[in-house]
Amino acid sequence: MVTLPEISEALSAHPGVRRAETAIVRHDDRDVAIAAVEPTGYVSGLILRNHVRRELGEDSGLAGVLIVEHMPMTDGAVDVEYLASAVAEGRCILFEDPRDDVERRVAAIWSAQMDLRSVGVNDDFLELGGDSLSALGIIAAIETEFGRPLDVYEFMSAANVRRLAEILR
Amino acid sequence: MVLSVRRRIADTARAEPDRTALVGFGTDLGQQVMSWREFADRVADAADALGAALDRRTRSCAVVLAGNTLPAAIGIAAALTAEVPVFPLNPGTPPAERDALLGLLGRRFGHGYLMDAQLRPQRMDLPAGPEPPAAAEGPGQLNTVAYLLATGASTGIPKISARPGPLRYDPARTPSVVIRQAGWRSGQRQLIVGPLYHAAPFSAFLDALLDSNTVVLQPFFSAQWTVELVRRYAIEWLQLTPAHMREILRLPDPDPAGFASLRAMLHTAARCDADTKRGWIDLLGPERVFELYGATEGIGVTLVRGDEWLARPGTVGRGFLTQIRILDDAGHPIPPGTTGTVFMRTPQRIGRSDYVNGRAIRTTLDGFATVGDHGRLDRDGYLYLEPRDHDTINVGGEKVDPDEVEAALRDHPAVIDAVAVAVPHQTLGSVVAAHIVLRPGASVRKAELAAHCGRRLAGYKIPKHFTFVDQVPRSAAGKIQRWRLAPYHQNGATPP
């Protein structure tokens, strides 16, 4: 079992991270591990979350990384209430597995084209590090897999696996 | 396969040595034609000369006087080949502005190498910045910048943006997908009308260089000549500004048949008025008219084709591989139909402070960035821009900061106060007009004020109308109330 300090430590080892704190947050009646990160420059939460999953394993338990300007602290510890409200407001993308076959097929195409071990259904294409090349690769693979045309605007406005699966259903 | 500029030019020259790479015009306007073989040889020689001249103990850049001439095109290609950061400089820049630009370069580079018309690098010492530029750690460290461009996107005050380098040819990315979507074809014949020291023509030239185009360089704009060059060289791809578009439409009976070879006309740089847009859609048909909105800084782009524009007049299109978010002043997203600040996010994300002179564009923590434009989205994601909230004057696509013009005017001994405003102009969209308060008892001719400005400002910044007034309207805080002056010039006329 990976501990919260181990997650913070793995994050701090990333060159884009100045400071990282991890806490358990209550969201939708379950406990999720959320890390807050002060970056040194621009780095997305998803890049950092995937970094932790690569370093500590896919089962590290880290659900999301929230990028903050300044570490929210209260009484010498990271402010769990602040993290909970950020998650509730949708400011922190949480990892979620596909829930049906269409989402699974779309997520598999994203993983293959972007060379990622796993893609959550809410993960934003650009925050995952997507570029024009991977966009065109995904579009071509989806057109083949689902036998329908998909233009680059539809793809970009969907921006994640779940919304893209809705278009394709 | 990703290739260096040197390798890519050599490959093109080997594959099609006799095909035309460049067509230019000398000072006598005589036509000069250069094959890909000759172009590749000249570029390699100039790149070697630049490499040999380089002082490797300090960071250096190349400065090319970038009129639309063959030597300028070769000089730019040579610097990119040598992987020395290149700055295309407007050859008409007045000394004061040129010094300001070189000063900005001096903050990052120790030496500049001016490529003269014979393509011999001349070393120039750049004014030292507040901190000495870092020493180059080795040849490999020289090339973290591919090129530098002067921009004035948000304020009109000269600034320089740097593009990370070195430049590479990647068949999957050169040119970018958005340009390919706008009718571009590999190996096409392209006419470059705008000056190479502007971002859009410069980028089009780089893509042309890497994608085996035949490029015709028009040394200065004349509407009749542009139309003639399109016809004579059977031009397939053309990029224009709205000012160019207006001038061409004003020609007596522009003939659609003269544009038969054209696959696409892409316009950029400034807002295009609806009449001009419709005029070009009538001339070419909606499928050949493309508009691109995107800042020089590479924050993101939108693209719209003529038929989409006809369905949504006034739109600049949808984000192309770009996410758009409209935020209010507190940074919160606002719904479709409501105006706010336009933020964009794209894979080619720039650093949080990308400017040589330390001016940062505004970014959000999650990577959205803005140059300060205001606008709104409709429900389908089409972007509509609002007039800018600051006072920049747009003279045919050139951004003029009124503060800079006013400062130059107040520099004149007879002037105690001055206000610069935009007045409508039939083809340029707007030009600069000035309201002047003279010192008691002083007198000065308008022509002398224009000449005074000409020694300090680029031509397009010089006021075209002068009005003498007793005082300029200012708020209690001392801020000029330009809007109070606007009605005087509704018709571009000087008030009695």
CB contact under 8 A, A127 and B366: yes
Tell me the DSSP string of B333-386. Answer: B--TT--EEEEEE-SSPPPSS-BTT-PPPEE-TTS-EE-S-EEEE-TT--EEEP
Mean pLDDT, residues B16-21 taken together: 97
Higher-confidence residue of A60 and B485: namely A60
Amino acid at the residue A145 = E
Residue A144 sits in the same domain as residue A73? no
Q: Which residue has the higher pLDDT, B467 or B363?
A: B467
What distance in Å separates residue B369's CA from the closest CA in chain A? Answer: 11
Q: Which residue has the tokens 């035949």?
A: B214
Mean pLDDT of A22-43: 92
Residues in chain A: 169
Query: With a CB-CB cutoff of 8 Å, which residues 314-373 of chain B face chain A?
Result: 318-323, 345-349, 351-352, 363, 365-367
Q: Which residues of B touch A127 (CB under 8 A)?
A: 366-367
Instruction: Check if CATH label 3.30.300.30 holds for domain B393-489.
Output: yes
Q: How confident is the model at residue B135 (pLDDT cuts 50, 70, 90)?
A: low
Residue A81 is assigned to a structural domain of this protein: yes
Q: Which residue, among B366, B378, B379, would best test binding to A if mutated, counting the most A CBs under 10 Å from its CB? A: B366
Q: Would residue A23 count as lying in a domain?
A: yes
Taking residues B229-242, report their average pLDDT.
96
Is A94 within the bounds of a domain? Answer: no
A67 in the same domain as A143: no
Sign of the C-alpha dihedral, residues B418, B422, B425, B431?
A: positive
Give me chain B's average pLDDT, please: 86
B 368-397 residues with CB < 8 A to A: 381
* Within a domain: A13: yes
Query: Given a cut of 60, is residue B23 above it in pLDDT?
Result: yes
| pLDDT, tens digit (0-9, with 9 covering 90-100), for B426-436 | 888 889 999 99
Does a structural domain hold residue A93? no
Report CB contact under 8 Å: A156, B367: no
Residues A76 and A107 in one domain: no
CA distance A9 to chain B (A): 22
Asked if A68's CB is within 8 angstroms of B366's CB, the reply is no
Least trusted range by pLDDT, from A108-117, B148-157, B328-337, B455-464: B148-157
Judge: A126–B176 Cβ closer than 8 Å, yes or no.
Answer: no
Q: Does B168 touch chain A (CB under 8 A)?
A: no
Q: Give the residue-averaged pLDDT of B343-369.
A: 65
Write out pLDDT tens, residues B369-419.
Answer: 887 788 999 999 999 998 654 567 888 888 887 878 888 898 898 988 888
Asked which of B4-13, B234-243, B362-371 is least confident by mean pLDDT, the reply is B362-371
Give B180-228 pLDDT, tens digit per residue.
999 999 999 999 999 999 888 999 999 999 999 999 999 999 999 999 9
- The answer on A83 and A11 residing in a single domain is yes
Q: Which residues of B touch A16 (CB under 8 A)?
A: none
**Range from A52-66, A74-88, B129-143, B253-267 carrying the lowest mean pLDDT:** B129-143
| pLDDT (0 to 100) of residue B475 | 46
Say whether the ipTM exceeds 0.90: no
User: Is residue B446 over pLDDT 60?
Assistant: yes
What per-residue confidence (pLDDT) applies to B476? 45
- Residues 180 through 199 of chain B touching chain A, CB cutoff 8 Å: 181
Closest CA of chain B from A127, distance in Å: 8
Residue B186 has what pLDDT?
Answer: 95
Residue A95, in any domain of the structure? no
Residue A14 lies in a domain: yes
Cβ neighbours of B1 (radius 10 Å): 7
Indicate the fold that domain B3-377 takes in CATH. Rossmann fold (3.40.50)
The distance of B130 to chain A (nearest Cα, Å) reads 23
Residue spans of the domains in chain B: they are: 3-377, 393-489
Report residue A94 CA to chain centroid gap. 6
From the list B396, B388, B468, the residue with the least C-alpha distance to B432 is B396
* Mean pLDDT to the nearest integer, A120-143: 93
Q: What is the pLDDT of residue B137?
A: 44
Q: Work out how many CB contacts closer than 8 A connect A with B.
A: 53
* Among the listed residues B308, B371, B85, B67, the one whose alpha carbon sits nearest the alpha carbon of residue B195: B67
CATH number of the domain bearing residue A55: 3.30.300.30
Who among B347, B349, B363 is closest to A132 (CB)? B347
pLDDT value, residue B353: 38
- Could you read off the pLDDT of B145-172 as tens digits, one per residue? 999 988 754 344 567 888 888 899 998 8
More confident residue, B427 or B277: B277
Residue B137, C-beta contacts closer than 8 angstroms, at least 6 positions apart: none
**In the predicted structure, residue B19 carries a pLDDT above the cut 90:** yes
pLDDT digits (tens, 9 = 90+) for B42-72: 999 999 999 999 988 888 999 999 999 999 9
Residue A126 to residue B349: CA distance in whole angstroms? 10
Query: Which of A5-14, A17-26, A134-143, B261-270 is the least confident region?
Result: B261-270
Strand order in the sheet with A17-27: A17-27, A30-39, A62-67
Which of these ranges, B24-28, B79-83, B130-134, B268-272, has the smallest mean pLDDT? B130-134
CB contact under 8 A, B347 and A126: yes
Please indicate, yes or no, whether residues A25 and A55 belong to a single structural domain of this protein: yes
Same domain, A154 and A105: yes
For chain A, what is the domain count? 2
Same-domain check for residues A83 and A22: yes
CATH number at residue A133: 1.10.1200.10
What is the predicted pLDDT for the residue at A45? 94
Domain of residue A164 covers 101-168
**Whether B252 contacts chain A with CB within 8 A:** no
**Domain match, A72 and A19 both:** yes
Do A50 and A125 belong to one domain? no
Contact check, Cβ <8 Å, A42/B347:
no
Give the one of B173, B323, B363 whose C-beta lies nearest to A159's C-beta: B323
* A156 CB within 8 Å of a chain B CB: yes
What secondary structure letter does DSSP report for B480? B
A77 lies in the same domain as A110: no
CA closest to A45 among chain B residues: B366
> Same structural domain for residues A54 and A113?
no
Is residue A159 domain-resident? Answer: yes
Q: Is the model's pLDDT at B143 over the cut of 80?
A: no
